[in-house]
Structure 1
Amino acid sequence: MTTVCVVQARFGSSRLPGKVLEVVAGAPMLLGILGRLSRSTLIDEVIVATTTSDDDDPLVNAAERAGFAVVRGSVYDVLDRFHDVLIKRPHADVIVRITADCPFIDPVLVDKVICAREESSADFAANRLPPPYRRTYPVGLDVEVCTATALSRAWAEASEPYLREHVMPYIYLNPASFSVQIVDLEEDLSTYRWTVDTPEDLEAMREISRFLPHGSTAWRDVLEVVRLHPELNKLNAGQTQKSLKQVDDRWRKPDS
């Protein structure tokens, strides 16, 4: 079984343009994330999925110089971008979705979600989804895993912009059509925010990274830091995630 991890990245973020190449923990965020994912024992290949816009040339150059393949596609129809990966990697059986704004993504946690999907034979597995699903992991540790078959079906059937921009909702919002496996924690840690969407988030992640053990990719090390230094949580307090149905105002449906 071949597992391909797709990191979706775009230079033109609406709230913090260029964030994917901002430095966190001594490296451009995108490259740090790619390095972490390379330590997974279950991922066969890590690919960056970005857009055909010239604005994204810097991140393409950075990823390729670091030895990672890049697939370029639609600016706003991210589901179509992921489908482009399937076209270029027809041998892929499983797709892992990671976003390029999560500098503390943990490869061991990624493997845990991959295993959960395989052991349950589910179409889809994740550790953090919007309501009505229960959330226990911190924001920024999000891992979504699905079969190539499920992704292909979502690409063919999903029509609403939010279903296409956010890639996987068509799958997990249709449990009658797709089997879904959730990976939960016993302890609810969902109020912690370890992602980069705003300048405040960027400052917080940089400060947290200063206290992390050198070379650590363990999310529980991050948890220990913010518990020992609770003032760090205040740096990006009040920052929020976009809602599931919120899409980029510039979104245009793909040509039919």
Structure 2
Amino acid sequence: MTVTAIIQARMGSTRLPGKILKEVNDKPLLAYQLERLAHSKCIDKIVIATTVNQKDDVIVEFCENNDVEYYRGSENDVLSRYYEAAEQFGGETIVRLTSDCPLIDPEIVDQAIQHFIDNDFDYVSNAIEPTYPRGLDVEVFTKESFKKVYEEATLPRDREHVTAYYYTTKDFEISSIKNNIDYSKHRWTVDTMEDFHLIKLIIENLYINNPLFTLEDIIELLRKHPEWCEINSHIEQKKI
């Protein structure tokens, strides 16, 4: 069973344009994410799904310079872009990730994939009932079921958010993964400058000694610096 991770990425962002290529220690956030995902034991291939918009040429340049496969599709119909990328590069199993999650934990990604493989689900996610920090989100689904989503989902919400159709209809067997401890109050995604400041602090303090730092390593760091959690605590996640 081939597992393909597809990361949707674009330079346009209403709150923080160009966020995914913002640098910490002279290294783009997207490079940190790809480096961490390379340690996954379950992922066979990683693909960037970006847009045909000219401003995303810089993402293509990044991919070409770093030997990362990519696909360019619609900027607004994200579902079609994602489906076309899956058709071109995907195996039987697709892992959906977003490029604003530079601290993604490959162990958590692998746990989700393994749970999916060991059971007979169409869709598995750790974000439906949040217990993990925002920014460690992972979704896993079959390429076969995704074809059904692509063909049947018509609402603008579903075309923009790619996988919403899985959990807003009753047509699929889905499973929600929960952490033993609820860390959902933490926000480790990058959508605002405040988010970036927090991520920058985390990377600067952990990466030099342990590039593959884990969820628990970050939690321990924040226990030592609880005031850091206030940096972006007021930021609200965009609603579907």
Distance 1:29 1:240 in 2: 21
Aligned to 1:82: 82
> In the TM superposition, what whole-angstrom CA distance separates every residue of 1:131-169 from its partner, at most 9, and x where no partner exists?
xxx321111000001000111110000011111111101
CA shift for structure 1 position 25: 5.6
Mapped contact 2:47–2:89 kept (Cα < 8 A): no
Aligned 8 A contact 1:105 1:217 in 2: no
**How far did residue 106 of structure 1 move?**
0.7
Structure 2 residue aligned with 1:7: 7
Map 1:123-162 onto structure 2 (within 5 A): 123-129=122-128, 134-162=129-157
1:224 aligns with 2:210: no
**Corresponding residue of 1:66:** 66
Percent of aligned pairs sharing the same letter: 39
Q: Is the 8 A contact 2:49 2:82 kept in 1?
A: yes
- RMSD (Å) for aligned C-alpha atoms: 1.2
Alignment partner, residue 203 of structure 1: 197
Aligned length: 238
Deviation >3 Å, runs of 4+: none
Amino acid at match of 2:138: V
What residue is the counterpart of 1:98 in the other structure? Answer: 97
Deviation, structure 1 residue 26: 4.7
Tell me by how many angstroms 1:208 deviates: 1.8
Provide TM-score, normalisation by structure 2.
0.96
Is the Cα–Cα contact under 8 Å of residues 10 and 51 in structure 1 kept in the other structure? yes
SS at 1:210 equivalent? helix
Q: In 1, distance between residues paired with 2:126 and 2:26? A: 28
CA contact (8 A) 1:97 1:145 kept: yes
